[in-house]
Amino acid sequence: MVARDPHRFVNELDEVAIERLISRLESRAKDKVFTSLFDKYASRLTLPPSAQVLEVGCGTGAMLRFFASRSGFSGKAIGVDQSLPFVEAANKFAQLENVSNKIDFQVGDAHRLDFPPASFDVVIANTLISHVTQPTTVLEEMARVVRPGGTVAIFDGDYASLTYAMPDHDFGHKMDVALTRASFNNPRIMRDLPRLFPEFGFEVIDAWGDAVVEIGKGSYFKSFAETYAPYVSNAGLLSEEAVNSWLTVQRQAMENRTFFASCNYYTYLVRCA
């Protein structure tokens, strides 16, 4: 079998798998480990009150709900995702948080955005670029739909740096690599972006990295492991028995408060010429 990024091929997943991903996206959006990173770059985006904001690959819409709930925001936020169940969940959550009047969610392909050129003040790709089929095509589309002088924000992980502690270091490394292969189509794309940006007329105005680390207890990486580890055995990268034994060690480490996991994340704020 071949590893197939579940987000890239979300439209081929069964209902149970999709619900698991929806739960993961929503739990991640509430996890302080993750939300602090989003807050960090969202606070640096200068938005006029009537800003037109697009999120490409919006998932369940958690990031756009944050923007729509900001005081003084009277613009419009649009979220596009290839998964109809994700879009339906995004609409439901927006209604529950009373921000549906400021957000429009729709099914669409990040590689072929159905918007005229120069439509948005800000375009966001939040943990999207690591999953897409053709990153350069997605960058080209974001460059097309953002207004001249507008901002594109790209946030994602460098998943080649993803690691969980294991007493057996060799097996732990194999699982780290397998987990990355099974979960991300483009695990190293964040290293490539500075080289790619000039091709699309992007100028980096700010960029930084953050190490996401959980020691002792796990929340963000607990959800990550439980959601994505099954795809390792599904792809035949490691046996189901091996994956389950790895999960058992991680859960025991969390219970014993001896847990360790980490991954580097990067943010690029770029301006379109």
Whether residue 244 lies inside any domain: the answer is: no
Whether residue 201 lies inside any domain: the answer is: yes
Averaged confidence pLDDT in the chain: 94
For the chain, percent of residues with pLDDT exceeding 70: 99
- Give the Cα separation of 251 and 270 in Å (integer): 39
Whether residue 238 lies inside any domain: the answer is: no
At 1 the pLDDT is 56
Q: Count of domains in the chain?
A: 1
- What average pLDDT does this structure show over 87-112? 94
Per-residue DSSP letters for 179-227? HHHHH-S-TTHHHHHHHHGGGGTEEEEEEEEEEEEEEES-SHHHHHHHH
Considering Cα of 57, then 205, then 39, then 150, what sign does the dihedral take? negative
pLDDT digits (tens, 9 = 90+) for 185-234: 999 999 999 999 999 999 999 999 999 999 999 999 999 999 999 999 99
Q: Which range, of 15-24, 36-45, 113-122, averages the lowest pLDDT?
A: 36-45
What's the predicted TM-score (pTM) here? 0.95
Q: Side-chain half-sphere of 241: how many Cα atoms within 13 Å?
A: 0
Q: Which domain holds residue 63?
A: 10-158+185-210+265-272
CATH number at residue 113: 3.40.50.150
pLDDT digits (tens, 9 = 90+) for 38-51: 888 888 887 777 88
Whether residue 90 lies inside any domain: the answer is: yes
| 192, 194, 199, 203 alpha-carbon torsion, rounded to 10° | 160
